[in-house]
Structure 1
Amino acid sequence: MPAPLRLLAEFLGTAVLVMAVVGSGLLGQALSADLGVVILINQLATVMILGVLVALLMPVSGAHINPAVTLVMAIRREISPGLAVGYVLVQLAGGVFGTVVAHVMFERQVLEFSTNDRLSLGTFVGEVVATAGLLALILTAVYQQRSHLLPLLVPAWIGAAFFFTSSTSFANPAVALGRMFTDSFSGIAPGSVTGFIGAQVVGALLAIVLVLPFAQAHKKEVS
């Protein structure tokens, strides 16, 4: 697939993902004052759109739609450094654009800074766990040659981690950046974004370390 089309797919995919996250949060707030209901609406929309995006974009760009995924694939030399930089840039831009579209749909100010301070030791650890788990399952599916299952595995992990991690499983720097620009349920304050992204990078690198021994053992067994 030509590089421009791969970059376009990553931009649009990330934009749609963040649009779904922010838009479902806005709708949830409008429908109910019950925080549990809002969280459930937000989680269901996120899980369903992830399954659609991964299934449709895997043949086009690999369906990274996440700078943490691109970082790991670049370290593994499955994507060139130049293309990896391009992926990250369009993913970050797509994250912001997704918030813009969601705000336009719900007739809010196009961009606004969140006041929702989410960073603490607990949420930092939660983001490490969420991101490490996400990348570990992707790497495991790849070395086991089960990549065809990723449209099910990725949303399943994020959906579960949404409820068992204290951070509600952002696990994606582009999502964190996009959510910085909505002062709504889905938002994250600018002061928390750097910590979340740091946790996501740590989680991504941890996944490589955790999966490597299993991947090497698997390679020896099949060789």
Structure 2
Amino acid sequence: MFTGIIENLGRVTNLKSDQDNLHVTIESSLAPELKIDQSVAHNGVCLTVVHIKENTYTVTAIQETLNKTNLASLQLGDIVNLERAMLLGDRLDGHIVQGHVDQTATCIDIKETAGSWLFTFEYNKDLNNITIEKGSITVNGTSLTVVNSKRSQFSVAIIPYTYEHTNFKYFKIGDAVNLEFDVLGKYVKRLMEFDIK
């Protein structure tokens, strides 16, 4: 379980394909604090630490993960958002995040406003995920509030702190991002699909 509050940024230092799996090595100041078998969210994707060496660690993404996220497009030197699993009893400063990406979206607009940035994303509506105005959304693992909610688009406002401490500062129009929709909203949507009498 995660909160969507990014702890650190990591840099991809090695990518190794192994059959259908991708082993990703990340350089981060978090590495010395990690343990083998620990869960860490990478751009919002929960992955298990399988190897640690000094200031780097390695995680493995299976084909299902690569198909549903932007991890398959990682390149050496890319910067990823990192968050360790929350501790029981910690404050929930973001929202309930599972680390299970629902789908990807494309960044279609970036506007710098007076002291913040407005990012707009478009996603495939055929997968039946929805946003609501002022609802929660996770973009590349970052807990955010939806503005301008539409059927296949939404925007988020990014304050300077978030911009500087996440990989939002590297986004360009056309970039793919990972989305995790609000878990409570997903359960409500699923219940509404049943013919309840």
Q: Structure 2 length normalisation: TM-score?
A: 0.27
| Highest RCO, 1 vs 2 (Cα 8 Å, sep ≥ 6) | 1
Q: TM-score when scaled to structure 1?
A: 0.25
Pick the structure with more helix per residue.
1
